[in-house]
Amino acid sequence: MATEVTPMMKQYLAIKENYKDAFLFFRLGDFYEMFFEDAIQASQLLEITLTARASNSDNPIPMCGVPYHSAAGYIDTLIDKGYKVAICEQVEDAKLAKGMVKREVVQLISPGTMMEAKGLKEKENNFITAVFQHEEKEYGFAYCDLSTGELKSTVLPMGEDRLLNELTTLAAKEMVVGIEFSEAFPEAIREQLGLFISYENNNELPDGYESLVTNTIHPIEKKAIAKLLNYFIDTQKRDLSHLQKTVHYETSQYMKMDYYSKRNLELSESIRGKGKQGTLLWLLDQTKTAMGGRLLKQWIDRPLIHLDAIKARQQDVNSFINHYFERMELMEQLKQVYDLERLAGRVAYGNVNARDLIQLKNSLYQVPLLKETLKSMNQPNLTRIIEEIDPCDTLADVLERAINTSPPISIREGGIIKDGYNAELDTYRDASRNGKTWIAELEQQERALTGIKSLKVGFNRVFGYYIEVTKANIAALPENRYERKQTLTNAERYITPELKEKERLILDAEEKSMELEYTLFIQVRETVKQYIERLQHLAKVISEIDCLQSFANISENNHFVKPEMNKTGELEIIQGRHPVVEKVMGTQSYVANDCIMDDSRNMLLITGPNMSGKSTYMRQIALTAIMAQVGCYIPAEQATLPIFDQIFTRIGAADDLIAGQSTFMVEMLEARNAIANATSQSLILFDEIGRGTATYDGMALAQAIIEYIHEEVHAKTLFSTHYHELTILDETLTGMHNVHVSAVEENGKVVFLHKIENGPADKSYGIHVAELANLPAKLIGRARDILEQLESSEEKIIVPAEKARVPEVQEEVQLSMFPIEEKTVRTKQEQSLIKLIKNIDLMHMTPMDAMATLYDLQKKVKQ
């Protein structure tokens, strides 16, 4: 039997046609249903039962569904796995519909447009980005957290590495692009970053949103902003009044760190666990509000580079440190503050409930207390913050008068609005309550009249109010007093004309009461909507206070000190510590070290055995600089620091498998990035550059890199190496200084002291480390014999800098793996492909360039 396409399925197919890239949640009664391929895939992803519609036909339709009331969890699961969900609802009353009930998609949910708290991490932003490419010159770039309304934009120079760095800095969940990009570009981004890619080709600002973009915004940025806003309008289909005015930013206003540097330094994500534990963010986060936690992460991702801004933040932290008791009060007050940013978004969206408004009211009650506590500190530098605190007293008063202290979650079943707020509502409630009192009195009256003590007056939604008498007592009922309504197994239910009339009055009053309560709640919500901009500004101020108190707590509890910042390039850290390692190990176990560098000593060559702490030492210098430039105190006894414009790192040996790069290629690409972009105000950390290739190759490259940075770049550089031959470079490079991590032998065993000393290491202790790893004793003995032979025949292979020469550029010759006959005739397409491949400059391509080029080549070959 063939499957007949019903009107309902025709409606489903017509709607699905416009949402091919999303799971369509099609509302049928109390369920969201999915059909065909959506059902097959969703049943696997959500682990729910797959059934079939028209199961007796020749072609049954695969089908699965989830209950309407618990759909949020299933939607979160699909979004978390990187899918879109289109919510299709009934948009007319089934009782009034002529034929098929009208249905429409009311919202498209994607990874970058999550609004419900269940799908969001409270201390993390959920950014969606939009990119507009202007010819071959630059990118217009915009990003937004739809849940908070934060909207920012900038112009980025052309180059996928710049774009990739912004996307990774933001930890963006979704990117919106248009037809100006080739097909390979978004696919390569998706492959490398796991970003969800969406499309929007309308780059003109939508009507009604012009106020979000000021005249100072660059036209290229406006295109990206417009793309993002049009995507929101197309997918969200609801009020977006919580979106804030676009804030323009320049990446040059902050310290620059590429994705690899942030990963190597474990600023917000650990390399091993991929979580927050063990990161700088984990250490510094003692914020008490969700808003403060999100702002703290933004501060760490974008450290300051302007001296006045850094000093101002340091002064604020100092004020909090010096006022312990007030800080403790602030902490307790902040704990009572709700997530005002995301609440504003939910108010605009219309999905806020009465309990949210109670939390908002309780939060606003804390604001005057926060303000008074800050005033009591009597710190002139805090005047700006104090003046910007807006208590929103009128709104707090409205919420106090309108909303019950413990309202239900549902906004349609009553119990939300307080008595005395609205006279009409009070009248309905009085009628309902008096009616119920009359019902209770009726029960006592009928028991006395009939003598039946078990007689009761009850209610259900189907039959309304009734008088119930057990069958054993039916004979005692007066004749013609009751009208039979329902027969049960062991009882009869009756009504009287008087009871029926009272029922009508009671139910009518309850229905009107709930309808009026809902209307009044919507009015209160609209009142809150008028305060959205003020609440968002208040949220920013409270977030700043929260971050400052967090820095103060961390600094005081961990004995951090305020660094002196300078523009002269002087770096002097006395008894510095790695903040995270110290936190894990405890202050008594950690070995502190100095680091001294200036214009005459801008490079440290660090030698010492494996496991001795070279990498930890290098990381602690970088983390100390970052902490100082976000305004926090630092782990040291005393410190003077320059302001770094950029930090570059090459630490660790992980291959970049996604981009198809080996360890050595990654080393060279990251080294090139640092050398090409660093300035004399930058900090470079290179850990054992050159180890990924043959010994002489690696040593030659390491020496050349050291010399180039020393002579051409002049950046502050920490360069660790196992090539002890390089230590003689301090004889010719005046700005390079040898230091080493000390170790001693005791009874034939190596003991790491983790202490940085001047001069080169006397030996590598590599065999001792192997011994610590419990390699076989016979193997260790053989290694020592071989080492003695090698050391006895060792020759100097370092070429002094003055003898270095620039190699002549020779034409590269590509050797063929297979002989090609001279008479081989190739098609024009083959000749074109060969020419294209020959002209690829592989060594100067970014991983993203390489993936895009390979994708284009594959398409040409398939054609």
Q: Letter for the amino acid at 802? A: E
Structure tokens at 200: 């929007």
Residue 265 and residue 520 in contact, taking contact as beta carbons nearer than 8 Å: no
Structure tokens at 769: 């480390």
Tell me how many degrees the CA angle 391-120-211 measures, rounded to the nearest 5.
Answer: 55
Residue at token pair 């098609």? 827
Q: At 595, phi and psi to the nearest 5?
A: -145, 120
> Is 612 annotated for ligand binding?
yes
How far, in whole angstroms, is CA 132 from its chain's centroid?
22
Q: Letter for the amino acid at 648? A: F
Helix axes 340-349, 532-557, angle to 10 degrees: 160
Selection from 341, 343, 361, 332 nearest residue 549 by Cα: 332
Selection from 437, 413, 408, 409 nearest residue 511 by Cα: 413
Helices (runs of H) and strands (runs of E) counted in the chain: 26, 27
Sheet holding 31-35, edge to edge: 51-53, 61-67, 31-35, 22-28, 84-90, 103-109
Structure tokens at 409: 């979650």
CA–CA distance, 751 with 635 (Å, rounded to integer): 25
Helix axes 354-376, 497-529, angle to 10 degrees: 40
> Is 764 annotated for ligand binding?
no
Residue 690 and residue 723 in contact, taking contact as beta carbons nearer than 8 Å: yes
CA–CA distance, 232 with 147 (Å, rounded to integer): 12
CA–CA distance, 276 with 158 (Å, rounded to integer): 32
* Maximal C-alpha separation, the chain: 126
Residue 661 carries which DSSP code?
B
Going along 364-500, which residue ranges are E strands? 456-460, 464-470, 483-487, 491-495
> Is 436 annotated for ligand binding?
no
Sheet holding 464-470, edge to edge: 456-460, 464-470, 491-495, 483-487
CA–CA distance, 451 with 171 (Å, rounded to integer): 75
Residue 783 and residue 767 in contact, taking contact as beta carbons nearer than 8 Å: yes
Residue 248 and residue 153 in contact, taking contact as beta carbons nearer than 8 Å: yes
Q: At 348, phi and psi to the nearest 5?
A: -65, -40
> Is 613 annotated for ligand binding?
yes
CA–CA distance, 554 with 634 (Å, rounded to integer): 10
Q: CA dihedral in degrees (689, 694, 697, 700; nearest 10)?
A: 50
Handedness of CA 75, 77, 80, 85 (dihedral sign): negative
> Is 609 annotated for ligand binding?
yes
> Is 611 annotated for ligand binding?
yes
Q: Letter for the amino acid at 349? A: Y
For 474-543, the DSSP string reads: GGGSPTTS-EEEEE-SSEEEEE-HHHHHHHHHHHHHHHHHHHHHHHHHHHHHHHHHTTHHHHHHHHHHHH
Write out the binding residues for ATP: 608-615
Write out the binding residues: 608-615
